[in-house]
Chain A
């Protein structure tokens, strides 16, 4: 890479600061007492306190939304990777009539605006008595997570050479055995990357979670945080502390598997 012009660097730095500052401020503010937050806020952390975090878990029982989010996002992810993986493998390997339209349909579903299906989904879920339940969130989540998973994994499976599977079959392995011993281990990085992306999307989902839950016992983290604000006051400190708690594990996950995720997303783009 050659040196960029200087103004390019300035723009880059501005962009990074503009993107990173809200996160920085959220972290700093979550350690600042409520009173000081509005009188003399400082950009640098001074005398950090854990008040907001303590309140979060003692007064508000923030563990409940965290547990709800883990269950909903985790189940969605597991289901997507298991079912979507098999589906994507078939789409990547088998030749059949109407494959291109089918892939197009899957893509179309994944870009469908969520807001347009909230009301009909609500009616369906109410009829099924699934409002304010875990399945009542997981099933709607699958509508956007499954197409995403399938689309990503089709690209990934396509990149695995078919000759490996043929060699395994010639060596005497059945279809299932080939899947288990050859494809599964080779696809693991791609499956992991896809799983993380699916998990992150489900973890951050707000609209469905807000619409299909009724009380705090089934609310997920984003909904719980949004409902912190009372009638007369907004507990900014706690909201920001909750945001940090909700973001940290996901950010950590993504940072750890960063390279894998990029590989998964660009799979098939270039020949390895």
Chain B
């Protein structure tokens, strides 16, 4: 196992599109690093540059302190699981698993033994003679996993490996991947657009946007202390509420005459326009007339163990919409005015212009 480092990596395509701009990412030895972001943020390009399938226009790629920027994928000792699995359709499961070993000149006995050792825990020993077209989606997924595991590579690369599975299988495979990481103590780089996958799987998470890193950190830190409006809105579901406001006399004034102190923030460095971020889970519905501000209940969506309430700020509901997660009962009736109380310890302040976080 080894660490991986991208140093000031640029990737500009001939058509002028920049998929990576001065990208710095460090993945520690044995770490499960998730690269997450919306489509087109450059996360797949970053992964493909680690794999050697794309060449950076500038910067260096290091695997275990070795500069591999100029090396092809063959010489990097990495394994990759593709979104489409990319199983060789003309080969049996056994041949698929054995391919990488065969390319590296392993002996026939060594191959048989190693393939068996990988196939058994994945439940593939009964289907070794089948072709990929005769396998179920979950089995194909496991063959793709097995093909990566069979060689004991320095680094595992995963490119949205769960996106072709149905919801149930996805949850199962996610647990499987967590177990795999613990058992092999492997360095894993995992690309996904699904923030939930990122939070559940990663030892650390890198949130990307427009070819740049927005924030790096352990999942809970990214969730609790988003570094920007973008990260706050991207990580967590339902998405964070944002309310724009102005600073006046050391207090923040937002829509619907909402006024709050900013808490332990050095007042001198404050910009004029400040955006408040608050998660739907950190708002409490209280009786009308109480709490920080009034709001008109607009839509109520029961979701089993909780309910999502859409409400409009202000006594007439003329302000911006906020989403609130509440216990499923009692539900506030639609078109009634309620009070909303914000959890003072869970407020996020951002500079409206730059989008960056203010304060701790």
Contact = CB atoms under 8 A, between A and B. Distances in A.
A163 B72 contact: no
Given A171-B99, A171-B100, A186-B90, A166 B73 contact: yes
Interface of A: 95, 161, 163-164, 166-174, 177, 181-182, 185-186
A170 B79 contact: yes
Among all A-B residue pairs, the 3 with the closest Cβ atoms: A172-B103, A171-B100, A167-B86
A185 B100 contact: no
B6 interface: no
B274 interface: no
A65 to B, nearest CB: 40
Given A161-B86, A164-B88, A186-B89, 4 more contacts: A164-B89, A171-B99, A171-B103, A171-B151
A186 B131 CA distance: 14
20 contacts: A163-B82, A163-B83, A163-B84, A164-B89, A166-B51, A166-B73, A166-B82, A168-B99, A168-B103, A169-B53, A170-B51, A170-B78, A170-B80, A171-B151, A172-B100, A173-B74, A173-B99, A177-B103, A186-B89, A186-B90
A169 B74 contact: yes
B86 A172 contact: no
Main secondary structure of the interface of B (DSSP, over half): loop
Interface of B: 14, 51-53, 72-74, 78-80, 82-84, 86, 88-90, 99-100, 103-104, 147, 151
A182 B103 contact: no
Main secondary structure of the interface of A (DSSP, over half): helix
Contacts of B53: 166, 169-170
A177 B78 CA distance: 18
Contacts of A181: 99
Given A161-B84, A182-B88, A186-B90, A170 B73 contact: yes
Contacts of A174: 74
A35 B90 CA distance: 58
Contacts of A163: 82-84, 86
Contact of B72 (A164, A167, A169, A186): A169
B313 to A, nearest CB: 48
